[in-house]
Amino acid sequence: MITGHLPAGYLATNLILKRLKMPVSRAWLFFGMLAAILPDFDLIYFVFQGNNEFGHRYYFSHKPFIYLALLVVLYIVYLFNKKAWFKTALIVFFVNVFLHFILDSYFVGISWLWPYNNKLFGLVELNYQLGGRGMAYFHHWYFGVEVLLWLLAGALVLKNKFKK
């Protein structure tokens, strides 16, 4: 997934806040969308380090285990300090991060079993080494999923706007 993480984060954060019966505020939406694209911040490093041999999916920011460990630590912090906003922050953050990994698991994959195993688990490994990944990708139905996410998020933005 290339750009679809952002609208996916918008949709997911809306759903989470509604489920938690919280007002859908801009601050929470921003926080949720930031979490949804956070693992891809490694692309900045990837572009500048100049080594294309391994994909950025191998970086620490794309390791579910790191986030699970962080979740355990933060959950323990929460148990000692049960603030409602903190609970919302944990749910919004981790649901969005793991949604990112689920969406990345279709193409190329995610190293779900790291540190036990560094292998990327993905359903389609198409063209990753062929250099033609970009072009082939735009003709794949999964790119349609990205377009659909943008359309759904756009519709929800309009719906939220007119409700006020």
The site for Zn ion (CB under 5 A) is made up of: 39-40, 104
Whose Cβ is closer to Zn ion: residue 17's or residue 95's? 95
Crossing angle of helices 84-104 and 5-19, in 10° steps, is: 140
At closest approach, how far in Å is the CB of 58 from Zn ion? Answer: 11
Longest dimension (CA), the chain: 51
Quote the strand ranges of the chain, DSSP E.
Answer: none
Whose Cβ is closer to Zn ion: residue 32's or residue 39's? 39
Whose Cβ is closer to Zn ion: residue 78's or residue 128's? 128
Whose Cβ is closer to Zn ion: residue 2's or residue 77's? 2
- Residue 25 has, within 13 A of its CA and on its CB side, a CA count of 11
Separation of alpha carbons 8 and 33, rounded Å: 8
Quote the strand ranges of 8-82, DSSP E.
Answer: none
At closest approach, how far in Å is the CB of 96 from Zn ion? Answer: 12
At closest approach, how far in Å is the CB of 39 from Zn ion? Answer: 5
- Cβ neighbours for 13, distance < 8 A, ≥ 6 positions apart: 24, 28, 29, 31, 32, 33, 36, 92, 96
Whose Cβ is closer to Zn ion: residue 6's or residue 17's? 6
Helix (H, G, I), strand (E, B) or coil at 67: helix
